Structure 1
Amino acid sequence: MLSDNQRGAGLMILTMAAFTLNDTCLKALAGHIPLFQILFMRGLLASLAVFVVARAMGLFDLRMSRSDAKWVALRVFGEVTAAYFFLTALFNMPLANATAILQAAPLTVTLAAALFMGMPVGWRRVSTIIVGFIGVLLIVRPGTDGFNIYSVFALISVLCVTLRDLATRKISGAVPSLTVTFLSASGVMASFGLASVAQDWVLPTGSQISLLLASTFFVVCGYTGSVMVMRVGEISYVAPFRYTGLVWALVLGFVVFGDWPMPLTLIGAGIVVGSGIYMLYREAQVKRAARVLLKTRGQGV
């Protein structure tokens, strides 16, 4: 019999596999269908699928406070910009490289939360963030032949994801997670639907439609799994398994596209992942210490 933590870890691994398979399907469409058209079509399909899932789970409710509406709007903006910058980078660089850079997002979220939200961050976590950024530099290697505008796009996507995640933290629990997901998917659909008007549309072939449908299936599975995983097991135990996404990216990048990162990229990715895992471990330690202190004070000790 699996424990809640083991089920949560398994769900997280499957969730990251779903997101990486989604990226793989989209990358396979690069050069065949314009990016804005891809994002509009996937956004449309994802919106419909998330709506059906949310209604079936009883988690669809568009009513929210003005404060929540503001943060949801900011989250949608982060989602839209992250989709554009990350997929532009993904279409022009190896899957594992783009995924490895994106793994820096937890570090930038912690840093931004300290700078803009007043979250206390000790010297250990500051040192971890610096080490993690060194790992990112090893991946993108500015000033070398391998560095180009798409490396910059991948870095910008990390900033967009940071904005999205910070906005998500400010949304109250009264707004169902799948409602937020639906609005994000709808925002992507609407934004890139408008942008795609300026592009020539391409009639997809049968295999390309299959890839779009597969991408939609995987991204909905990823979104649903990310909601479920937060309800199973301890977050401090489950969260580090999000980095299995890089393992999936390495395998799929090699099998599907024949790409394998350079040794320096692998070293940089290892540093970023190690920094992220330590950051999660350190945050869990701080939270446990705070709970113990609060409990002690409550007992009047």
Structure 2
Amino acid sequence: MNIYKAILFTLISSLLFAAMAALVRFAGETAPLGQVVFFRAAFGVVPITLLVLFRGQLSQMIRTRRVLGHGGRGLFSVGGMFLHFASLARLPVVDATAFSFVSPLATVVLSAIFLKERVRIYRWSAVILGFVGVLVMLWPHFDPSRYAGFATTATAIGAMCGLAGAIINAGAVIQTRRLTDTETTSSIVFYFSLFCALAGLSTLPFGWIWPTPSQLAALIATGLIGGLSHIFLTESYRNAPQSIVAPFNYTTMLWALVIGYVFFGEVPLPLVLVGASIIAVAGLIVVFRERQLGRRDIDSAPPAA
């Protein structure tokens, strides 16, 4: 376990995920959902393949002892990816990212239930504080007129897909954590990409488009950046319990705010900035508490024989 390394990997992954979300939204305006999923998965395996080739560990990427475990994770991942991309295609990047933050909160609870991770009161407090920050950021979007005709409007469908995808992705995170006990990072990413690519390819008969050069570049970049972000995320799970790194996933919202402003002209509201500050404080609480516990373990006397 290396808590600080896990936190660093989570922060890098969050930045890459936000960049990928912007590309998905750009490509998803014209390309069918299944086609976007295929490119994300097919080209997402390229970075990990180059990495294992450089290390001379190609056999580790394919070798597995838990085919069913990868299959279970694949089902969660396919459902979560389709729903999240559907949300990004119908909502602004900031909105879709905000809905996705249900996932880290659900993951902490599932980690305590299914992985039997010990979640102390300080971590629970930090996660709850982060949840309050998310609510503050979401508050400007709680406009009933925005969701008039909830059953039929595109924004309503996007919101429903975002919430459902976030919950399903929490299940994928738990399964990933289980797989890291015996599986390599390369095999986890490879089989994740394989399942999602096959699912996306199965939608080919339903009308893919012939992309323009800019669309093709965006689709390929979606896969490459998504693959890199997935590597960092999986490594973060390997270096610390998910309940520790979960609050730092909130930094994706900060990157989404910047990207939304620069590329889509979305100006963050004051409440959004307040919520982001609350989330940053929640992350610092986790870091400070874990550092205290680490010093206590070092300073404590060894047990008697």
Alignment TM class, shorter chain as reference: 0.7 to 0.9
Q: How many residues align?
A: 291
Q: Does 1:259 align with 2:266?
A: yes
Q: After superposing the two structures, state which structure 1 stretch, 267-276 or 35-44, moved more.
A: 267-276
Match of 2:161 in 1: 153
Is the contact between residue 104 and residue 246 of structure 2 (CA under 8 Å) also seen in structure 1? no
- Supply the AA of the counterpart residue of 2:218: L
Q: Which residue of 2 aligns with 1:98?
A: 96
Q: Quick check: 256-265 or 279-288, which moved more?
A: 279-288
Q: 1:260 offset after TM fit, Å?
A: 2.5
5 Å matches for 1:1-301? 13-57=11-55, 58=57, 60-65=60-65, 68-141=66-139, 144-147=144-147, 148-197=156-205, 199-226=206-233, 242-275=249-282, 277-279=284-286, 282=289, 291=297, 296=301, 299-300=303-304
Contact 2:63 2:187 (C-alpha < 8 Å) held by counterparts: no
Residue type at the aligned position of 2:162: A
Identity of aligned residues (%): 23
Q: Indicate how the Cα distance of structure 1 residues 103 and 238 shifts in structure 2: closer, same or farther if over 3 A, else same.
A: same
Runs of 5+ unmatched residues, structure 1: none
Tell me if the contact between 1:101 and 1:139 (Cα under 8 Å) persists in the aligned partners.
Answer: no
* 2-structure distance, mates of 1:115, 1:5: 21
Q: Secondary structure at the match of 2:202?
A: helix
**RMSD of Structure 2 on Structure 1 (CA):** 3.7
How far, CA to CA, are the matches of 2:122 and 2:26 in structure 1? Answer: 41
Shift of 1:282: 4.7
1:137 and 1:8 map into 2 onto residues whose CA distance is 26
TM-score (norm 1): 0.78
Seen in structure 2, the aligned counterparts of structure 1 residues 151 and 202 have a Cα distance that, compared at 3 Å, is same
SS of 2:24 mapped into structure 1: helix
Partners of 1:54 and 1:262 lie apart in 2 by 43
**Structure 1 contact 240–277 (Cα < 8 Å) conserved:** no
Whole-angstrom distance in 2 between the partners of 1:71 and 1:280: 32
Q: Secondary structure of 1:91's partner?
A: helix
1:86 is displaced (CA, Å) by 1.4
Preserved contact between residue 253 and residue 259 of structure 1 (Cα < 8 Å): yes
Cα deviation, residue 33, structure 1: 0.7
Assess if the C-alpha contact under 8 Å between 1:131 and 1:275 holds in 2: yes
